[in-house]
Structure 1
């Protein structure tokens, strides 16, 4: 009996495990005008404070909205919360609408991308300065690429099934070890996610007009595309920055991960030093190290822990271990008004369970590079039949994407059958059956469908316009399912009060605040 089957059998002793998974979603979306150009207006006042609103905020830019759901054990509730937020938001946007694609709408000038504003408190100024540093380091265009982040955790019953009763310290260690095993396996096999759900095979030529691009793009008017690409968002053009792959941050243990991360945060960068930290009294970035703060590490998946009492993310991980993981490699699904579907979530349930149950040897830097190369192949040419990947570099095993995916699905189907028993449905098996057909026919994938639609309508912009118009109507006609209009309006009022209160209580100068915040770098 394989270790995977043995571990799965342990879970099958309490099928309720599969009912108790915890999930949360963060969906990004650009505001745009009817003509498909980036909206340059400030964050809508009717949405309250972007600094304090728990559910509707901004990311890098004033134009880049972010919707954040509470955590939930119920997928339907989770999606309904997102639908309610989108409806409420559209009622505050006037004639603006949400861009339904990951790659940005038409950008005439990079200076049109206005940095997010959060107020006058020191913590708000730090959020804004961090973004200013990203602009100087990487450029603003890269930062307004939109995606969906999927937060996921296993319930206590999952850990009880695998490890039995444990004291708090032992349980914390077991969870962190298992989550890091999952993360390594995500690097090894997570390219399945952009293969199936990647939705950025094309982009507007305005995105690369000032870049030295060597990719063999073809064009449809002002639209550039790669014929077999799945997710340009995850390529070196997007938020996965090849420069950061040289950091050599270990994925083997929490302790090694934190040590390497702290080194990157402390390590001076000659390139970033040239930008300057404070020039003629103007702050340009938080510091000139490889990473300004932990969040600047761009990865397809992250270990996470809820920070308490002002802890930094790395401090929370050190103190409490890994509590959940954040999957960051999902493109906006253009065929969903809210950017993600129930089918995608069901597949992630199955895949993340599998990645935690199969064996996961430690990964050295050589294997890490092979894994990154597999991802690069899939995002740039994943719909090429017979694309060869290198799996298990110790044995120099080369296998086609189709062969590898079919092997994985044998295990995934076993998990899906168990999940369907507890949910009294066939949903999980149905998604496995559907995606299995996409393995042999890559044009059925989301990227394949989207590229065909782009060719049919003649441009990336036209597809975004048509879907944006359709979804604007969908949002406005939506009826609240979880929230009420009053609940969301109350959060707007509360968020404004919270920002104002924070601004009143700050007594330090901003320079003093930064000095205190980064005092740990001197230790």
Structure 2
């Protein structure tokens, strides 16, 4: 198997080598709506934003208050960020004295029992989406579900897959080779995933109200009376306090091949849970959850990366993958960046490009049980203690300092960055590396380090600091001018989405019970 340097050298000589620069990306950014006091918005999804069920750019996740902005796929970083900016601009213009919360960990919630579930109308599909969220409430509690994140979708061109296929002289079909290549990338991603919370984690602190009455065994430090933090934490969002599911630790999802992945996911979605069975599925004529398995549906698999393919019709994610293989990957290990109004910056996107391309082009063996434990341990260490200068991780069974490990990875990123910049008029990738490289030796330069420093200097609750940012960003959006869309286009899209939702409701036949039975019959085979 060729090394990273050998592959880059081959691509330099290959006629289609320049296709390495053709990268397709999409962003999904979540943001809570809050009122002028920084409390969770309790009203319905604004009608001016259209239907959350059918709108292609503006929807909701768990709660009516948890907005999700979705960009189209684009090959230009500038266009990607500008389209995300336009979506923010339109949304903020339709909020009545409300703001977008700039952090991953939620704002103050006075009564968690009153967190409004996302409502998608009265169609069978809409009811199922809301019921799925009802199940999440019973399983994990509502506070965990109003944590925000950023998802980054990434793929390379068919021309590059063909070039890599030619160079390796593979006997696989191009579709099989592409899926194998994406799973090779995913395994290296999982080996190095700790890099993302280290650099981009931005949730070292949380509002004390998040824990409610349950408290925590963790010995937090305090800022004032309202903010809890861990001195060296990077991403409490990804910790056991955040968006995780302890029952899933034992599922044994394999990323060694598409076949292994589909087999282990299939087994997981059929696995019953004694704990969730106690909740009940339909009690006194009212549904509480879709089923009592460990996963109600595949979307409940909380993983920091997912292989994906756009589904057709009523296909499940696995059925889409089984039909035509992996189309792109979804990076799910990103906190909301509070230092930019959009929750993610161009420099982050560029570094993600380098991270993922290095993962793709570096040889990637199968992961055995021992390495799986190593991967999980490294990630948990960085989440809770990543900015400890003395922190050591494990690599191939040997201890290595985090800074040394990261420096070696940055050297690999630099090789890919120099290659990409050799096909650019400017040096965007080397500029991105220059932005993030100081973090290698100075944890204070990371997003979590900067955030904690500002909170300590302000000596005020995190909620006050965040609310000041929210108001500042609203002012910037008011002055922002559309770059890729127009307000009229958004207004028309909102109107059409409402019409599409109504049409879905009119076209439904049979009972909701029958719909669910048919869905799971098709989903589970």
State the TM-score, normalized to the length of structure 2: 0.97
Preserved CA contact (<8 Å) 1:56 1:65:
yes
1:304-345 alpha-carbon deviations (Å, 9 max, x no partner): 011113211110001111110000011000011010000000
Instruction: Count residues in correspondence.
Output: 520
Distance in 2 of aligned mates of 1:2 and 1:362:
16
1:404-429 alpha-carbon deviations (Å, 9 max, x no partner): 01111111111101111222212211
Preserved CA contact (<8 Å) 2:290 2:296:
yes
Partner of 1:19: 21
Greater shift in the superposed pair: 6-15 or 153-162: 6-15
1:199 and 2:202 matched: yes
Partner of 1:127: 129
Q: Tell me, what secondary structure is at the counterpart of 1:106?
A: coil
Distance in 2 of aligned mates of 1:15 and 1:446:
35
1:448-492 alpha-carbon deviations (Å, 9 max, x no partner): 000011112222111111110110111111111000011101100
Distance in 1 of aligned mates of 2:368 and 2:172:
27
Greater shift in the superposed pair: 397-406 or 155-164: 155-164
Preserved CA contact (<8 Å) 1:39 1:63:
yes
Q: What pairs with 1:98-247 in structure 2 (closer than 5 Å)?
A: 98-164=100-166, 170-221=173-224, 222-247=226-251
Partner of 1:419: 420
Q: What pairs with 1:271-290 in structure 2 (closer than 5 Å)?
A: 271-290=275-294
Specify every segment of 5 or more residues in structure 1 that has no aligned partner in the other structure, as ranges.
none
Preserved CA contact (<8 Å) 2:27 2:153:
yes
Q: What pairs with 1:36-55 in structure 2 (closer than 5 Å)?
A: 36-55=38-57
Quote how far apart the aligned CAs of 1:2 are: 5.8
Quote how far apart the aligned CAs of 1:434 are: 2.7
Greater shift in the superposed pair: 120-129 or 153-162: 153-162
Distance in 1 of aligned mates of 2:59 and 2:305:
22
1:24-58 alpha-carbon deviations (Å, 9 max, x no partner): 00000000011111111110011011111100010
Distance in 1 of aligned mates of 2:340 and 2:210:
24
Distance in 2 of aligned mates of 1:16 and 1:357:
14
Quote how far apart the aligned CAs of 1:245 are: 1.5
1:378-418 alpha-carbon deviations (Å, 9 max, x no partner): 010100002110111xxx21101011011111111111011
Preserved CA contact (<8 Å) 2:162 2:174:
no
Preserved CA contact (<8 Å) 2:444 2:450:
yes
Preserved CA contact (<8 Å) 1:18 1:422:
no
The CA RMSD measured in Å over matched residues stands at 1.6
Preserved CA contact (<8 Å) 2:201 2:235:
yes
Partner of 1:348: 352
1:227-269 alpha-carbon deviations (Å, 9 max, x no partner): 0001000111111333312111111111111111111111111
Partner of 2:494: 492
Distance in 1 of aligned mates of 2:276 and 2:180:
34
1:275-306 alpha-carbon deviations (Å, 9 max, x no partner): 00000000011100111111100000100011
Greater shift in the superposed pair: 8-17 or 259-268: 8-17
Partner of 1:384: 388
Specify every segment of 5 or more residues in structure 2 that has no aligned partner in the other structure, as ranges.
none
Distance in 2 of aligned mates of 1:18 and 1:60:
37
Partner of 1:31: 33
1:134-180 alpha-carbon deviations (Å, 9 max, x no partner): 11111111111000000000111211221129999711111111111
Partner of 1:3: 3
Preserved CA contact (<8 Å) 2:309 2:325:
yes
1:72-97 alpha-carbon deviations (Å, 9 max, x no partner): 00111111111111110111101000
Partner of 2:95: 93
Greater shift in the superposed pair: 269-278 or 7-16: 7-16
1:65 and 2:67 matched: yes
Distance in 2 of aligned mates of 1:468 and 1:32:
9
Preserved CA contact (<8 Å) 1:84 1:482:
yes
Partner of 1:375: 379
Partner of 2:517: 515
Gap change, CA 1:270 and 1:474, over 3 Å in 2: same
Distance in 2 of aligned mates of 1:158 and 1:383:
37
Partner of 1:501: 503
Preserved CA contact (<8 Å) 2:170 2:177:
no
Preserved CA contact (<8 Å) 2:2 2:363:
no
1:193-227 alpha-carbon deviations (Å, 9 max, x no partner): 11111000000000012234111210012100000
